[in-house]
Structure 1
């Protein structure tokens, strides 16, 4: 694929840069907020080399490209002139899309750049646990400590990383934002809590301050940088050019760090914990129902591109308690898709369909990307999609019933199996059984639901 050519052709097909209100990308899709979607010819877009399919969801025009989307996005950003150009062009105008669609867009753009780091760190953590269990590494050794630091630093310093990506999304200075995140983790600030932990008190200019532990937190820093973006834009607009170098960072840090630790931070911590507790409570008290809904419905959420609303909850669970019960249920979906590709490959006679199924199988097994199979096969054949949904629901119900958890936020594939390695060795065994159930049910149903003369639509 010629990334530059693909990007330029997409830009022309969606109406040029004057029709773009905002742009971002996730793991597989170029996500555009367009001022007028009606002028876009979907056929022209899907005919572009490198484009697999399109979807209109969550107030966005989503162009499915696959795992090469970051390279296409880089060229697309050059062709448009960057997000800064869009901000200037849209300055003073109403934001495109509803509040809900803007939230989805923000979540996607904030977390997408961090997914490789989160996934890689999680897998390393799983391998380290396995090495300890096998007696290959001693927990008191320097080797263990170094590997542990390598696997856990992304979670400990999550506020700094999220500050940077949030600033890119909200239009604030990424570097000043990172400093705000870093201040929350500064050793002397943490020492103020003493042995009390969350809820300890101090004062700032005689104002009471509730101290919290912000390492591994998600919500507080995103809220803080969202607020900071308004202050930063106001300062950038009204402070004269010859004073910006000093005045903008001075006021930014002097205002935002106290404001964050006094107001925004505690609200964010308690708010994030409350959301996570509600979701985890629902899973713990309705395990089978949760397994059916998430395992069976995940592909539907992915098809609309709104699964990003749930991802931060999983990331928050991993970062704060070290494990998550939702992530395994998404594995059930992926392995049901793998099963479906096997069933179709075994039953269909059409060489193109069998080749497409086999390609989809390999893609999911190695990279956990289901979108090509989802849009290229399942969406176009509802009976086969139903087979996948049932397979994911049955496997998901088993995983939930067995309390299967992951130690990392990862996408479901064979390469991410180390995420199931926990101190409780039964967790891995039950995970493999649950995923095998999803795969077998999906394969068997797809085999019966597929006709011999089925074609690749």
Structure 2
């Protein structure tokens, strides 16, 4: 039965100390993420018992309530009850307590979570277009191909604009002025300044030498720009009289931030983002098998701590910049190892509750790539089963790394996202299927071995 979101929201607020105890909130694909002023006011056991709550994780400076894919509906009800709490309460005491690393993780999840459906949907569409071309169903010279390509790639080209909006919501800046800052980086007249030279072309602004960059599909520059702008916006909001804000605030914001982004912040973000991405990709190139073992086996651990968001921007940047990514396949290995482990439990256990839970997890992950219910409801509570999942993910990840499997999109690993493995040749898709089969079969066998016939579903 579907969760009663209004009732669930009311009960959650009651058990976390009321709306007065919330300094900020947001949500990702599966979790309601709360910044709390005083953790001592929270009754975690009561929160876990709320109908629809799968688990609670207090990590990375946030109180994370795992709901599942319906979390936006619950978030909307909580938002109604809480009122005007910002997603990122800059300057809050909680932010100071949680430390810089936790703050970064929190910010990343808040910025990227709203875009995940668009990124995933676009990635699947792109994979299907490539598949139809390979099957001869679609010609690359046809109008249909061009239109579908535009539909599937627009989210990546205009990523600075989309990230400007979500970053503004996260950092507390004006979202529409932020969007204009992002859009200015993609304006045809700005791109034309680079001429035939491209990245590295130079011009001047008020006599200041300026290095020009192409910002379409970039991630880091606009996030840094809006973070800086959030401080300018808040200062202007305090200093500019109400009667002049309508004109003065956007005028000063654009006049300062667009040149500042183009002159300093943008190039710094481009080179910084490329440095991080190149470092990760270099490590994968040097030891792709080791990378597959570590990510394929360890991804579920990151998910259990809620800090996997720190890696997602690297994958998104790779797809946006290079058109492919090596890390996403390793996350597939983790997901299919989770499916296998759950199936192994289903085949061995006799208890009806744990069998039903396991099979529900198999179907859910296969279709939606959401592993948290199985992760928290089954694996975290049984170390042997968690080990079975980790081993299966590591073995499958090693094969994917050995064969340099890549995806052409940032997607979550499920059966429905297989088109993201379609490449210029069929070898990439075939090796992907072999690697995922290895993860699935190995974890199914180990899950079966590690499960007792009398295994029960642990509910506390």
Compared CA separation, residues 345 and 86, structure 1 to 2 (3 A): closer
Separation (CA, whole Å) in 1 of partners of 2:369 and 2:54: 16
C-alpha deviation, 1:74, in angstroms: 1.0
Out of 44, 49, 52, the position equivalent to 2:51 is 49
What is the rounded CA distance, in whole Å, between the counterparts of 1:306 and 1:322 in structure 2?
25
CA–CA separation in structure 2 for the residues paired with 1:123 and 1:68: 21
TM-superposed CA distance for 1:84, in Å, is 4.0
Runs of 4+ aligned structure 1 residues displaced above 2 Å come to 82-88, 90-96
Cα distance in 1 for partners of 2:274, 2:32 equals 31
Please state how far the C-alpha of 1:450 moved relative to its aligned partner: 0.5
Q: Deviations over 1:322-355 (max 9, x none)?
A: 0000000000000000000111111001011100
User: What is the aligned partner in structure 1 of residue 137 from structure 2?
Assistant: 136
Residues 70-149 of structure 1: pairs in structure 2 closer than 5 A: 70-84=72-86, 87=89, 95-149=96-150
Q: 1:17 maps to which residue?
A: 19
Q: CA deviation at 1:94?
A: 6.2
- SS at the partner of 1:215? coil
Identify if the C-alpha distance between structure 1 residues 93 and 130 changes in structure 2 by more than 3 Å, giving closer, same or farther.
Answer: closer
Q: Which has the higher mean CA deviation after the structures are superposed, 133-142 or 294-303?
A: 133-142
Contact kept? 1:342, 1:443, Cα under 8 Å: yes
2: CA distance, partners of 1:352 / 1:364: 18
Corresponding position: 1:263 with 2:264: yes
Provide Cα deviations, 1:9-41, integer angstroms capped at 9, x if missing partner: 111111112211211111000111111112211
- After superposition, residues 149-298 of structure 1 pair within 5 angstroms as 149-298=150-299
Displacement after TM superposition at 1:294 (Å):
0.2
In the TM superposition, residue 83 of structure 1 has moved relative to its aligned partner by 2.7
Following superposition, the deviation at residue 86 of structure 1 comes to 8.2
Which residue in 2 is equivalent to 1:39? 41
Comparing 96-105 with 124-133, which one deviates more in the overlay?
Answer: 96-105
1:137-171 deviations in Å (ceiling 9; x for gaps): 11111111100000000000000000000000000
Match of 2:70 in 1: 68
User: What is the DSSP-based 3-state SS (H/G/I as helix, E as strand, rest coil) of the residue aligned with 2:204?
Assistant: strand
Distance 1:96 1:217 in 2: 31
Tell me by how many angstroms 1:95 deviates.
4.1
* 8 Å CA contact retained: 1:318, 1:409: yes
- The structural deviation recorded for 1:97 is 1.8
Count of equivalent residues: 456
Pick the aligned partner of 2:4 from 2, 5, 9. Answer: 2
C-alpha distance after superposition, 1:159-199 (max 9, x if no partner): 00000000000000110000000000000100111111110
Q: Where does the alignment leave 5 or more consecutive residues of structure 2 unmatched? A: none
Does the CA contact (< 8 Å) of 2:174 and 2:233 recur in 1? yes
TM-fit CA distance, 1:245: 0.2
Instruction: Write the distance in 2 (CA, Å) between the matches of 1:55 and 1:94.
Output: 18
**Cα deviation digits, residues 58-107 of structure 1 (max 9, x gap):** 1111100000001111111111113349859x779964521111111100
Cα separation, 1, equivalents of 2:40 and 2:155? 42
Separation of aligned partners in 1, 2:438 and 2:66: 29
Distance change (3 Å), C-alpha of 1:355 and 1:181: same
TM-score (norm 2): 0.97
What CA distance in whole angstroms lies between the structure 2 residues aligned with 1:73 and 1:97?
23
One of 16, 25, 28 as aligned partner of 1:26: 28
Of residues 21-30 and 160-169 in structure 1, the stretch that sits farther from structure 2 once superposed is 21-30
Deviates most, 78-87 or 414-423: 78-87
Name the CA distance, whole Å, in 2 between partners of 1:21 and 1:2: 25
Stretch of structure 1 that moved more, 38-47 or 196-205: 38-47
Normalising by structure 1, report the TM-score.
0.98
Give the SS at the match of 1:202: strand
Separation (CA, whole Å) in 1 of partners of 2:153 and 2:320: 9
Q: Deviation per CA, 1:29-59, whole angstroms, max 9, x where unpaired?
A: 0111111112211110001111111011111
Corresponding residue of 2:397? 396
Q: Which residue does the alignment assign to 2:419?
A: 418
SS of the equivalent of 2:98 reads coil
Q: Check the 8 A contact 1:33/1:97 in 2, yes or no.
A: no
Q: Distance in 2 between matches of 1:82 and 1:322?
A: 39
Name the CA distance, whole Å, in 2 between partners of 1:16 and 1:263: 43
1:424 deviates by: 2.3
Distance 1:447 1:103, change over 3 A: same
Give secondary structure in 1 for the equivalent of 2:440. Answer: helix
**Aligned residue number for residue 313 of structure 2:** 312
User: Matched residues in 2 for 1:329 and 1:91: separation?
Assistant: 37
In structure 2, the partner of 1:343 is 344
Question: Match of 1:400, SS?
Answer: helix
